[in-house]
Every structure is written in C-alpha cells, then in structure tokens.
Amino acid sequence: MAGHELRFGLFLGQRNDDWDPLLREFQFADELGFDYAWVFDHFIEHAHEAWTLLAGLAARTSRVRLGTMVTGNTYRNPALLLKQAVTVDHISNGRLVLGLGAGWHEGEHRMYGFPFPSARERVDRFGEALEIITGLMGRETTTFEGRYYCVQDAHLKPKPVQQPRIPILVGTRGARMIGLTARYADIWDANRTPPDEAARLARQLDDACRAIGRDPSEIRRSILAGDEPLRSEGAFRDFVETYRPLGFTDFTCDLPGPEHHDTVRRIAAEVMPALRG
C-alpha cells in the first residue's frame, strides 16, 4: 500500500470496572504516541458501554485516535449511532474512527433482548446502515427507504469535525462483507488472522474494489495481534514485517501487563519511528 504511513495502535478494551485505571491505559497510549486506542462494543464481562465511554476518553486524551473495534450494527439504529459518533468526533476535536461490523455475539443479543437475525439478514442490515451513515455525512439531506431502516429528509447537524467524513473502519473476514468494505470503508480490519489467510482476504478486497471501479489503495489495511509483539522489540518488528508485505498499514496489539510497559515505551520511542521511516 504505497503512500500510506504506517500506524500503530493498542486494543485496550474496557474490562476494568474502575474508571481511573482504565483512563490511565488510554492516556498511556496517548502519551507514547500510538496512533489508535480501541474499545470493544460488548455489554458483558463487566464492560462499560462503548460510546459513552468514548465520550469520556475523548475529553481526557489529546492526540490518539479513538474508536470501537468494532460497533455491532444490531445494537443501535444507524442514524442514532452516527449522531453519537459525531458528538465524540467534536469532543475529541476530530480523533474518532467509526469502527463498524454486522454483529455476531448471539449470547449477548439474547441476554439483553436484541433480535439476532440470520447471518444473511445481519449483512443486509449492515449494508443499509452503511448507506444511511455515508449518506448523512455526505449530503445535506438524506432519504432512504430500506427493508430494515429508513430515514426521511434527514439532516446531520452539526457535521463531523473531520471532513469529508469520519473515517469508517469495517471489521470482517466474510465474502459479502468484503464487498461492502470495498464500497464504503476507509479502513479494513482483518482481526487476528494468520498471514496466509490475511493475504487471501486482502486479494479478495482488491478484486472487490476493482469490480466497482475503486482504487484498492484508498483503503488502509489493519491487523490485530495479542500482546506478544509488545513483549520485545524484535517480536514487534517481526509482527510488522510479517504483515507489511501483504499490504497492511495499521498494526494493533493488546497491551501486556505492567511488567512489560518499559518495553512498550522503548518500542514506541525507538521501533515505531524507525518503522515509519
């Protein structure tokens, strides 16, 4: 992906019940110069709700991009979700990434009373949601009559700080979802996918882009790993150099325990700048 500067992130989540230590982790990412710090969008495992949490984190950080990895489409009306996202974009002064997915956690849906349709319907719903979200960000008024969602002469005011729109990240490894990624996304996330499979999916995304006349290089490619790459400088370089030749531009790891934080600091201060260069 020539022309894309490498970016690095921490997948921090929100499994800690207490605000103060959770905030310190995001401020740690902010202070060290990581490009992204991510929460997840789940309601179990003692997790704080993602979007209200992002608003608080946006007010207490200054540089790092914040986002969900990823928001489950089935949990919220897409127009309401976009209003939430624009609010966070303003609080953060334009540091939000709108991470989206079709929704997958059946047990959580049942626990909290959310309908859990078939995989096909979830993807169909996701496509309609993306149409509404991109329309509201890109036009003065939007009317959309779908099977699952509709908006009538809807306008989005205020508009996002980021122009022409908040970057959209789609997390997926599914064939139909790859097609939606090609059409709507600014960033594609392949999650924790082994290199061979990641390479195959990247080629599939390239083909889907070309089929609709889009330059594949317009879409950044994101990959996640556990905390192992952040336990040593060599492991971090190996992680990046494994996926970089496959076209990946964005590299996110789980944050290891405090005993490894000095190593994380060295990686942020020395290894990440060298890889960017």
pLDDT category at 14 given cuts 50, 70, 90 is confident
- The per-residue pLDDT for range 98-136, each reduced to its tens digit, is 999 999 999 999 999 999 999 999 999 999 999 999 999
- Assign 188 to helix, strand or coil: strand
Q: Which of 36, 171, 30, 182 is nearest to 96 (CA)?
A: 36
Tell me how far apart the alpha carbons of residues 210 and 176 are, in angstroms, rounded to a whole number.
Answer: 15
Q: Which of 247, 236, 237 is nearest to 198 (CA)?
A: 247
* Longest CA–CA separation in the chain, Å: 54
**One-letter amino acid of 177:** M
Tell me how far apart the alpha carbons of residues 215 and 212 are, in angstroms, rounded to a whole number.
Answer: 9
pLDDT category at 85 given cuts 50, 70, 90 is very high
Tell me how far apart the alpha carbons of residues 168 and 219 are, in angstroms, rounded to a whole number.
Answer: 10
The pLDDT score that the predictor gives to residue 97 is 98
DSSP, residue by residue, 38-61: EE---S-TTPPPHHHHHHHHHHH-
The better pLDDT of the pair 15, 147 is held by 147
CA atoms within 13 A on the CB side of 47: 15
- The per-residue pLDDT for range 204-237, each reduced to its tens digit, is 999 999 999 999 999 999 999 999 999 999 999 9
Tell me how far apart the alpha carbons of residues 100 and 250 are, in angstroms, rounded to a whole number.
Answer: 16
Model confidence at 43: pLDDT above 90: no
Q: What's the sign of the alpha-carbon dihedral 263, 265, 52, 38?
A: negative
CATH topology (fold) of 7-276: TIM Barrel (3.20.20)
pLDDT category at 3 given cuts 50, 70, 90 is confident
